[in-house]
Amino acid sequence: MRAPTTDIDHMIHELNTMQLSASLMESFDAYREDVVRSVIRKIHAFQLRWYLDLLNRFRGPTNHKESLFDVFDPEMYTVDHPAWNAPPGTMIEMPALNSGVAEIADRNSAFAEIAREEIEEFRELADSFSDEEVLELANIAHAALVDRTTTFLKREDAIRYLALNASALLEDLWVQDDTLWTKAPPRQIHFEDMVEKRKTELCRTAAIRPAFDQEDFACYSEDAIRSFAFDMRKLFLSGRARHLAICARCQNRLEYWCGLVENFDRAIATSDREPDA
């Protein structure tokens, strides 16, 4: 049986309110989340954690990220970008990717020197990963960066792409001098109308569950995420479990913390089995 019309109207009202307060960049971010979710859907969570561990070792101890989505984030190069304040839309102009900037960088430039070192470093770190795994990780990066042009023909192509676009050192260089990034041709990216897509999804959901309340659209705090990871019963007792069904970011954050708790428990169990000296 379909939900009452008032329930659907209530949800659409909430989304219209979100539309007024959201920005073009947030719409693009929502699209990125959907694309990445479609790519990683069939990849085991354990494998994804191995990929993240590889990338965090590559980035160094002071530049760790909590998810693959955050490692490959084209929005980090968009300080003062007008899309942060523009209304939601379906087209955005983004700076060139590091792999694109590399094509115009002088071979004797600081960018090129860092790039060569980073590619070599990543090649060594990824040595224990198979060709299939390296290419799979590159496809995840490709999705998160919303890259519509690059293709990977072999392992070395993927290694170069991953090293350049995950490099913390190139991020630091951009902070110091973004001249190369501003000279490189920007990317014109067309994507779905995410507000309309969310309306459709929530209206479909309304057929089998009650309308969402205002608080259902608010993300969980970091303290709440950690608390849920240690005891999932708290999520359902909180009365806010429905938010998890509509927020990919909170899903990824909770999955990350659950992985940390699982690894911690495993380490404790192993330690308890060790004989006393």
What digits encode the pLDDT tens for the residues 179-188? 999 899 999 9
pLDDT at 133: 97
Mean pLDDT of 14-32: 71
Q: What is d(CA 241, CA 255) in angstroms, rounded to the nearest whole number?
A: 14
Domain ranges of the chain: 5-211, 213-277
pLDDT at 277: 41
| pTM of structure | 0.69
How would you label 248-271 residue by residue, b for 16+ Cβ within 10 Å and e otherwise?
Answer: bebebbbebbbbeeeeeeeeeeee
As given in the structure block, the two tokens for residue 124 are 């060594």
Comparing 61 with 254, the larger pLDDT belongs to 61
pLDDT at 146: 96
Comparing 165 with 255, the larger pLDDT belongs to 165
As given in the structure block, the two tokens for residue 266 are 């495993």
Nearest to 171 by CA among 61, 73, 67: 73
Answer whether residue 55 shows pLDDT above 50: yes
Q: How confident is the model at residue 238 (pLDDT cuts 50, 70, 90)?
A: confident
Nearest to 138 by CA among 237, 254, 225, 51: 51
Mean pLDDT of the chain: 84
pLDDT at 4: 37
Q: What is d(CA 52, CA 231) in angstroms, rounded to the nearest whole number?
A: 24
The secondary structure of the chain as a DSSP string is -PPPHHHHHHHHHHHHHHHHH--HHHHHHHHHHHHHHHHHTTS-HHHHHHHHHHHHHHH-TTS--SSHHHHS-GGGG-TT-GGGTSPP-SEEEEPPPHHHHTTTS-TTSHHHHHHHHHHHHHHHHGGGS-HHHHHHHHHHHHHHTT-SS----SHHHHHHHHHHHH-HHHHHHHHH--HHHHHSPPEEEE---HHHHHHHHHHHHTTTSPPPPGGGGSPPPHHHHHHHHH-THHHHHTT-TTHHHH-HHHHHHHHHHHHHHHHHHHHHHHHHHSPP-
pLDDT at 207: 57
Q: What is d(CA 52, CA 186) in angstroms, rounded to the nearest whole number?
A: 28
Q: How confident is the model at residue 205 (pLDDT cuts 50, 70, 90)?
A: low
CB under 8 Å to 164, separation ≥6 — which residues? 97, 98, 99, 102, 115, 118, 119, 170
* Residue 144 and residue 34 in contact, taking contact as beta carbons nearer than 8 Å: no
